[in-house]
Each structure stands twice: as structure tokens, then as C-alpha cells.
Structure 1
Amino acid sequence: MTEQWHTAAGTLEVLEALQRPDLLADPVRESLRGLDDARSVGVVEIDPDLADTAEFCATYGSPLELSANCVVVAGKRAGEVRYAACLVLATTRADVNNVVRRRLDVRKASFAGTDEAVELTGMAYGGITPFGLPAWPVWLDPAVAEAPAVVVGSGVRRSKLIVPGELLTRLTGAEVVDGLGKPVS
């Protein structure tokens, strides 16, 4: 696993995530403790001011095509708010207006507000990750699922996780969704 970790992590030193529980948000740490193969998840410590994907990749030499963004989306139907987490590569954007809206079965879908996402996940904005989320669908673009390792949030802004794409497909509620990520134009 270490070779895959190092390609995604760029210049950063990677440790097994559970060796540094201090670098994980509480729900993320608990989620990882429940995984049989948690040893395949790495963690890197970073400057929290560089947590945004573009700055992280540029500073630490992590390829954009191996960084994934986890976004919380919401939509209403019959007064009920429906949520999902979408995981797409940093070289793409989640197709919220078409693919996500249809899958949520709502008239209009949008990114959840910052305060709402933070409150619902128990994670820092800019660090939200598919580990430790509420019981929502977790939709993965096929490119994320097929990646040997991707960088995702850790629930806090001062670290990132390095995760095999295949492991993400086995998270509770995870489903690979064709067309979820649209290339950035």
C-alpha cells in the first residue's frame, strides 16, 4: 500500500491513519476503527490553511487526478430534506443539476450550506470525508472507485486521508454512479 500512498501524498510522509487519531475528526476515527482493513487508510498532516484541494496539491505535489472532493448535497421532496455525499475527482465537478437531482428524486438539488454540512457531519468544512457520515447515500464517480489511492478529507483541516478507491466502494451506503463527475471546463 505504501507505494500507492506516496504517489497520492506527493511530498508528505504517510502513516496509518489510526496511528494518529489526533489527526481525525471523532466520527472519522470511529468509522475507521470499525473497518476490517483500516490499515490500508493512510493519513498525512498538513497546514490547515492549505486544506483546499488546489492549494494542497500545488504545495505538496499531490496530483489533482488523485485528489477527491466529498460534497454534501441536499434537496427537498414533499417537505422532506434528502441528503447524499458525492465523491468526485478534483479534476471534475459533481453533476448536481442532473445526475444528483435525479438520484435524490427531487425537483432541485444543491450543495448543503456550510453551517448545515458541518453540523450534520460533525466535521470541519473543507475536511468532510465519506468516513463517519450519517446514514446517507455515498455516491462515487467511477474514476474515484478505480483509483489505486486518492486523497480525501479527514474530517479536520489539518490532515488528509489516503485511501484505495476500492475501499471507498465498500463503505456503508456507497454506490458507484456513472456520470457523477463532469470534467471541469
Structure 2
Amino acid sequence: MSPTLPASDFSATSKPAFYKTLVAQVEAVLDLSLPLTANLANISSVLFYALTDAPVSRKINWCGFYLTEDATAAKPRMVLGPFQGRVACTIIPFGKGVCGTAATKRETQVVKDVHEFPGHIACDSASESEVVVPIVVGDVVKGVLDIDCLVKEGFDEEDRVGMEAVVQKLLVLWQ
């Protein structure tokens, strides 16, 4: 069954208005009767196309999820989940790269220039900036939402707030 999305107006003149519409789109495609991967696949598509389609055209080249394999392991790591974009790194240890740092610190990472981020993992050499939001349920990091951009300074504080709102809507998938 194809989800029915609410009318979308991604021509919003402000980022907060854009993200309000985006969060509504994300909420509309969530289907708790489906497996996690099906939901995350649709969410990555909604995000990718909302961020790349005109009039927004944010120069996004990758959008997806890395999911924690075993949070209680001595050396926890994340594995590639549903995404939109080029072939990606399949395993990222906690503490490594932008994704691993977000998971370890449990804090959103907004990186204006990935080439200046110590230990950046370059899955796509065209990426210039990145935002990574950890997905935390209780005390457990379930994974991260990772979005890469083809331009430096592709993300700012408003994007952080907007993407964190998206992730808040996704937490229901792990309950």
C-alpha cells in the first residue's frame, strides 16, 4: 500500500516552515505495522527528495541511516541501513568519523567542512558538509540519521533543529 502524503509546499520561504512540512511528511509515511527497514527506507526517500527537489535544492548527495548492531558490545558499531545516494560505507564504529562521533557523544554533529573534521570517513569524496543526528531511545543509541551535502556549510543551526525534530518522530519505531 502506498502511503498518502499530506499536501506539501516545499516552497516555504523559511527553514522552520520547510521543516514543519517535512516533519508532517515523515509522520505521514510512518507505518508501525511494517518492519523498521521499510519505514526507514521510505523516510530516507522523503528526506532525500524534499531536500533535493526544487525549489529547495540543497545539493544533498546522501541521506540515510546507520543502525547500531549491538550497543552493549565492548566496541559498538553501526551498520548501513536504508539510504538514498551512492554506495556507502557499510560499518562505522562508535567514535569514528562524524557518524561514530554523534553516536558516542549522543549529540547532533553539524560539520561545515568534512575535510576539517578529524577522522572523517569519506564514503563519497564529493561530500563537503554533513549533519548527523543520533537516534537515542532511553539510554541506548539505536543509530544515526546521516545527511551529506555537496557544498561547504550546507547545514546550519536551523537544519540541526529541523533534523532533530524529524528524528523525534522516528523514535516510535523503536518502542
> Which has the bigger relative contact order, CA under 8 A and spacing at least 6?
1
